């Protein structure tokens, strides 16, 4: 079976997920929807100028933004932030990396840059 057929069949039967462990607890991440990506991007766009995934992770200083973004990828909201922030920075970043592997990173970095631009435009008074 070719790669495309496997991806489609996994999506149809619900077998297209990844499991991550943060602070000793397992979480399932399904391929993110636009809603989840936008929620995560709002936290990841706070990390400064980015060109690629490596820049995003290098720019993160603490667990807070990573935990917020990861909560969006897992749950589609911020409900898991407190729980995820008890994990280490490395656990959160590794889980984020796994979550981001489920989408095209080029599109994600563009979305993060767009979210930052929109926030800048909204903040400027005319």
What is the C-alpha separation between 29 and 124, in angstroms, rounded? 36
Half-sphere exposure of 116 (CA within 13 A, CB side): 16
Cα separations (Å) of 107 from 38, 85, 100?
12, 26, 11
**Residue ranges of domains in the chain:** 3-123
**Per-residue pLDDT at 16:** 74
> Do the Cβ atoms of 84 and 70 come closer than 8 Å?
yes
Q: What is the pLDDT along the chain (126 residues), one digit of tens a residue?
A: 566 566 556 666 667 788 999 999 999 898 888 888 888 877 776 666 666 665 666 667 777 888 999 999 999 999 999 999 999 888 988 898 888 888 766 666 676 777 777 777 766 665
**Per-residue pLDDT at 78:** 92
DSSP state letter for 31 = P
> In residues, how long is the chain?
126
**Per-residue pLDDT at 53:** 65
């Amino acid at each position: 079976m070719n790669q495309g057929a496997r991806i489609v069949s996994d999506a149809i039967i619900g077998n297209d997920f990844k499991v991550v462990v943060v602070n000793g607890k397992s979480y399932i991440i399904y391929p993110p929807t636009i809603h989840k990506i936008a929620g995560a991007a709002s936290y990841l766009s706070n990390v400064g100028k980015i060109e690629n995934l490596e820049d995003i992770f290098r720019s993160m200083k603490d667990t807070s933004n990573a935990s917020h973004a990861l909560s969006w990828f897992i749950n589609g909201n911020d409900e898991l932030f407190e729980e995820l922030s008890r994990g280490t920075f490395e656990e959160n970043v590794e889980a984020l990396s796994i979550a981001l592997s489920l989408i095209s990173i080029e599109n994600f970095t563009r979305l993060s840059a767009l979210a930052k631009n929109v926030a800048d435009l909204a903040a400027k008074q005319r």
